[in-house]
Structure 1
Amino acid sequence: MISDQRATANLAIAQPSYDELSSTLSAIPDLMFELDEEGLHWDARVLRPELLVAPEEQLLGRTVTEVLPPEAAQIVMRALKDAKQNGYSHGKHILLPTPLGKLWFEISIARKETTSDETAKPKGTRFIVLSRDINERKLALLEAEKLAYHDQLTNLPNRYAIKNNLVQKIAAQQAEAHYFAILFLDLDKFKEVNDQKGHHTGDQLLKSVAQRLNTVVREEDMLIRWGGDEFIILINGLSANQYEAHQQTKATCKQIVDEVNKPYNIGKDEFLCRLSIGVQLFNDPETDVEKIIQQADAAMYLAKKSNKPFEFYHI
């Protein structure tokens, strides 16, 4: 009898009341939502309403695709799918408009365990979503990445950024077996400008060249400053046919040369800056990026030696 009373008392202590649980949940600083697998908002607990994309009453009964920006909604829906399969999803970052401005959030999702009472089970799977304000940390991380992977003079990605971006772009198109091209660019008379007019003028010339290259390179391609007076361009989405890809790249090289070789006016001086380009085509997703760059570099020196504006690498 006494042991039964102790067991009952211990059970009462171990099981917090609904009010206690509600109070605990309300004290969590993260935004908390209950969604179903269609992304529909069923419930919300919000300590800081100024972090919401819309007032709470406008969220309930609406899906994430209806209330979030398209890119953020896609990330959340993919995370819900992961959580349905694995039980949880952590660490996804989304950028959302709020009354405080655009802020970064980290979302964590857990699949909700349903009640054993069959009549009380909701239709479909439900999820608990925590959305945490990480704006300061994210901005600091983005700034650090920019310093690490961007050239401060031209504001282009630098040589350390190319490998990761190459892998991503190749993976996105490898199913179609599209060709890619690496263009290795070198400014022939840049050293003369530096020697005769000083590094400040040389820097201005490099910035002008980068700006012109940006007008020619498509948004889906990648332009980086390799170092000194050298640039690299990754052209993706070329034809799956090698001859057609060759012709497409050839046309792009002509366009680049025509644009970059025009005179430059810096201060009171006018400069001509001849460009040499080496090209290597490839379509193998397992390609060694460093080897491809070396081959394009070798083709560039061949173009320079033969006094041609560009040359393709040949084994």
Structure 2
Amino acid sequence: MDKDIELRHLRYFVAVAEELHFGRAAQRLHLAQPPLSQQIRKLEDILGFPLFLRTSRSVRLTAAGSAFLERAQRTLRNVQRDLDETRALGRGELGSLHIGFVGSAMLSILPAILRTYSESHPRVHLHLHESFTSKVIEGLENGTLDAGILRDGDPTDTVDGLDVITLSSEPFVAVLPATHPRARQKSISPASLRGDPFVYYPRTAGTRAYEKPLSIFEEHGFRPHIVQEASHWLSILRLVGAGLGVSIAPACVRHIASPEVACIPIRGAKVTSNIELACLAGESRPIVQRFAQTATLKEQSHETPRTPGAPSSRQHYRR
């Protein structure tokens, strides 16, 4: 018999129990009084005991009715909460989101994206995973990541059906020890670093991310001699500052540069470095779509001027 109880029976009962007046409860429910009375009697028949003591002058809860009221209110609250959470999930406003990112993005647009997203989606639990571009792409491929922030993602490294949107572009700078003979120059020619040992990040970070900066020197007829590798820009800057070599880096590393190094613009360099948002093509989950919308909107309002000739773009990579 319990299966015949419907949520409307609970709502009707709670209204009468809180008002202790069938007329006022009917008005509250936008019902006529006779149908309301009929439904309360049906509920009492299903339960097998009276919920109200009725007289011509008053309506009172029975002992069983008082106990049932607390349970009915709790049930309705739980149902409403579940409905609200389901709607929030459907809108992408609730749940967990795993974001992979390259560390240098934290020196660029990523903190502003995360702040804006967290403020507008406080019920989403962000799980942030710092790694190389190649590892972020791998996480998208195996499903451990929902979205990724890349630097110079390589089309040949990407999974079938990966959408990549450029969020920001910046020039590369030469990173020299403060004691280097050219450290005080306002700009530097790539050719002037021929013969200097280089400190650089590993190829495993991503093929394009590795080769793109080096192409600036190849245009001048040489390929830098890399004598030391490090996985993080802070380590690279410290090694350069210690005199182990020079390097080339996105301009954002100036934010963490110490007095031991000089970050100098490179003359004539046409290549720029891109921070990109990557998601699987056809991504339909609202929680991921909301993050992508936040990231692209933040890109449009980013204060750093975009390098001329490097507009925001969407690319669809396939093997």
Structure 1 length-normalised TM: 0.22
Greater gyration radius = 2
Higher relative contact order (CA 8 A, sep 6+): 2
